[in-house]
Structure 1
Amino acid sequence: SHPCTECGKRFRQKVNLAVHQRTHTGERPFRCAECGKGFSLKHNLIIHQRSHAKEGPYECAVCEISFADKSHLDLHRSIHTDGRAFGAKCPVCRKNLSCTFSLQRHLRTHARDRPHHCSECKKSFTRSTHLKRHQKIH
């Protein structure tokens, strides 16, 4: 048996001890190549990476990330409502927003940033949902 030197918890396999020790060290060796976020477990990284796919019928109304599975969307929504989300105030117009995702999206209205482009007519939009709605006319 392999004991944890921090808390004394014992593990039959050394690999399980190594994974457990990350809870004490804060080590997050699995990094998302898209956004740089770190994870202590590879499984959690894989689940996270799906959020970058922008595929799936379940879209977050706040930040527009899409999910193939409704349960993943429900889990994701908690970042906008629980203690991990922080209120954000627009430095330009002082509008209060629910979280940093909303602030980033809102700031585009001041900067005229329109990163979502229609390949048919070259119109551009601040939100992917607006682009999708527009593309239905073509």
Structure 2
Amino acid sequence: MKCGKDLSQKKTPHNPRKSYTGVKPFTYNECGKSFSQRANLLLHERIHTGVKPFTGSECGKSFRQKSSLRIHVDVKPFTCTDCSKSFNRKPSVRRHKRMHTGVKTFTCIECGEIFNYKTHHTSYQTIHTLMNRPL
């Protein structure tokens, strides 16, 4: 494989080869949209059916995804072990931990400026795009 990713072993409950190669065997017949994982098809189906199985106990507001309900009620089950700051999603605490380790993984190809977060890097790149645009 050219990119260097080792896909010979199953690393997660789903088959990583399907999502990596672009194979999308799960199709929602009503709209024709396809997905690489069955779970994503089921989430999409809720858009069409209007099913919102996760309901706030105090306000009664319903959501299609459990994570959306957690955000709504401000539940933050994931905690940084370094500073005790809490987050509602596991990837958020992973991103946050970069601040403590000093890891800076995103570098501007134009000027070499280094960023901890991809979003900061992406928005910074627009500065160069705007500066290099003809008037």
Query: Does the TM-score normalized on the shorter chain lie above 0.5?
Result: no
TM-score, normalised via structure 2 length: 0.45
TM-score, normalised via structure 1 length: 0.44
